Structure 1
Amino acid sequence: MTDTALSATIQKFADPDRTADGQRRARVPLDRLRTLWINTGTLCNIACRNCYIESSPTNDALVYISRSEAAAYLDEIAQDGWPVTEIGFTGGEPFMNPDMIGMLTDTLERGFSALVLTNGLQPMMRPGIQDGLLALRKVHGDRLCVRVSLDHYTEEFHDEERGPGTFYKTLEGTDWLAANGFSIAIAGRTCWGETELEARAGYAALLASRSWPVTADDVDSLVLFPEMDAHADVPEITDGCWEILKQSPSEMMCASSRMIVKRRGDRNPVVLPCTLLTDVPAFSMGTTLAEAATAHGEMFDQGAVKLCHPHCARFCVLGGGACSAPANE
């Protein structure tokens, strides 16, 4: 990307209320809080080339959230009657967090579905983690879903993203999940110029060869994420774009989900509008779901999220990306 293009992109998203050409920036109100995401910390056992929050073995910008801190949000959901049905866990690598099995236990015992995003590598394959997962699977069945990041169905492109040797280790981890009856989903990427049809066909062949319980043409079973380059030139989203694109604000991820993170040095976790904006302090909505519901400031209008980041346009509105199924499904 040229310096001129980068400058234009930054100028585009400089004003939270107005686009570069003066139009009112689109906003997304919270329609129905269906999924609460918890970031378990940015520490990860690998460093992927294009990780959107730069997780790595040394990055602890988001520290491990504790079991008690996560439970406080589960308490708030119950006390205030939030219509949450799913708790999602992402990282970093969630299974590096020492409280991961405990947080899953609390989630499932309270009747929520749990979705864990993992790379399927060594942290998940430790005996203690395996024993904990098997115990949860035995009691709670398919309410626990493990989504494994398999960036491509070929060794070449997957390892290009995640490092040499990770492809076959990820297959081994997913084989273990499948052999033990877990509900599984796969997350891939669309970085290599393939059509979605071509990508799903490639995954279908791999899935069949491994006998995994994943359906290649099901967008929830095999999730294909667009690239998330915050510096790439992308159009801004205005109020008028909804009609042009034949979309509704209620279809966006931030209409049905919120994200909990704990930043290094902070006393308490904070609520964010989504999983993609962890490194932008202005998107902090408060420390509780109640505070987030009425957040008002630079990036919010009485809890509605102003689409003032390139990810909002590229990933969600134009890319059709969502980390879980929308609330109306």
Structure 2
Amino acid sequence: MAQLEHKAAADRVDRETLPMAKFTDPRHTATGEPRAQVALSGLRTLWLNTGTLCNLACANCYIESSPRNDRLAYLSTEEVVGYLDEIEHEGLGTEEIGITGGEPFMNPDLPAILRACLERGHWVLLLTNAMRPMMKQAEALLALRALAAERLTLRVSLDHYGPAVHEAERGPRSWAPAIAGLRWLTEAGFHVTIASRQLSGESDAALRAGFAHFFAEHALPMDANDPRDLVIFPEMDEGADVPEITEACWGLLGRRPEQVMCAESRMVVKRKGATHPVVVPCTLLPYDTRFELGETLRDSAGPVALNHPHCARFCVLGGASCGAG
């Protein structure tokens, strides 16, 4: 019995002295310091993930969208309207609705979802690869442009200013259809911006110079040096070790909690087989159920613990945001 008690005590000591794994405790980091949290200052942007199905299977898609990935089901118009109603009834003052996927145009309800958002007076930021699924909805898009052209922005994903890097990420024959869709959008009078990534290893300045040449070559009305026209996201290396963000980090890094995306945004997702969508803090955390904040926007209003590598890698250290500006 004494041997068993001694072993149990030794096991307790081992557990207490061994370092805790990073990004496990929402209140403390692995070193025991208070973990940084971000309070919701106001719901400026509500993101809708319309489903993870996509016509492409990109090599480094953070959400692993593909023609077969239906882990996030299509949101319905009725479900979206429920959240728009809550925004109105609660007086949340939400300005922008962001729409992402997957490829949003794969969702057959997308035109009706866009119309519902625009008719409520929201600004809409729609992320797309501008390929065949979008062009199949060209007529519906033109009708929406006539409804509220100044409040609808389409952000087209181009992973580089040249086809080689883009197709290495998105697959063969993905460049030409994207450029054709991009040109159709601009010629039809839509407000279009570009989202790119630091896949090539080039500096921000070099990428912007390359895109400036690309915009001029294709007569596209965008300023490569304007971060609203060309957003360049830092590449997220899933295998890279990143530090946890403590409360002390804000002062050390010269950052403030209100600068982080989850200070003013939330995202609605619907898991495959679920009866109701749920709200998560941001676009980067669609699958981690630890970050489910509830089924309603009211439920999701509490602070968010920065308890995921993406919080450090992308938002705090990378200084990135998915919003329009």
Provide TM-score, normalisation by structure 2: 0.92
In 2, distance between residues paired with 1:191 and 1:11?
29
Q: State yes or no: 1:315 paired with 2:314.
A: yes
1:153 corresponds to which residue? 161
> Is the 1:183–1:213 Cα contact (8 Å) retained in structure 2?
no
Q: Which amino acid aligns with 2:52?
A: T
1:237 aligns with 2:236: no
Matched, 1:78 2:77: no
SS of 2:124's equivalent in the other structure is: strand
Task: Name the residue aligned to 2:103.
Answer: 93
In 1, distance between residues paired with 2:51 and 2:233? 21
Letter in structure 1 aligned against 2:39:
P
Tell me if the contact between 1:231 and 1:310 (Cα under 8 Å) persists in the aligned partners. Answer: no
Aligned partner letter, 2:80: A
**Deviation for aligned residue 1:220:** 1.8
Is 2:120 aligned against 1:120?
A: no
Percentage of pairs with the same residue: 54
Is 1:275 aligned to residue 283 of structure 2?
yes
Q: Which amino acid aligns with 2:194?
A: I
Larger of the two Rg values belongs to structure: 2
Structure 2 counterpart of 1:307, which letter?
L
Residue equivalent to 2:65? 55
Q: Are residue 43 (structure 1) and residue 53 (structure 2) matched?
A: yes
Contact 1:220 1:324 in 2 (8 A): no
Q: What is the rounded CA distance, in whole Å, between the counterparts of 2:200 and 2:272 in structure 1?
A: 35
Determine the C-alpha separation between the residues in 2 that align with 1:182 and 1:86: 17
Offset at residue 10 of structure 1 (A) = 9.0
Using the alignment, how far apart are the partners of 2:199 and 2:251 within structure 1? 28
Could you report, residue by residue, the CA deviation over 1:42-88 in whole angstroms, capped at 9, with x for unpaired residues? 00001000111100000100000000000100000000000200101
CA contact (8 A) 1:15 1:308 kept: yes
| Matched residue, 1:196 | 204
Structure 1 stretches of 4+ with a deviation exceeding 6 A read none
Q: In the alignment, which residue of structure 1 is the partner of 2:114?
A: 104
Q: Distance in 1 between matches of 2:94 and 2:189?
A: 26
> TM (normalized to structure 1)?
0.91
1:165: which partner in 2?
173
Q: Is the 8 A contact 2:20 2:31 kept in 1?
A: no
Task: Give the AA of the match of 2:237.
Answer: D
Structure 2 stretches of 5 or more lacking a match? 1-18
2:244 aligned partner, one-letter code: E
CA distance in 2, matches of 1:229, 1:91: 20
Give the C-alpha shift of residue 173 in structure 1: 0.4
In the comparison of the two structures, how many residue pairs are matched? 307
Residue 15 of structure 2: aligned partner: none
Aligned to 2:193: 185
CA distance in 2, matches of 1:121, 1:215: 23
- For structure 1, the residue ranges without an aligned partner over 5 or more in a row are 1-8, 294-302
How many angstroms apart in 2 are the aligned matches of 1:168 and 1:309? Answer: 36
Q: CA RMSD in A?
A: 1.3
2:161 corresponds to which letter in structure 1? Y
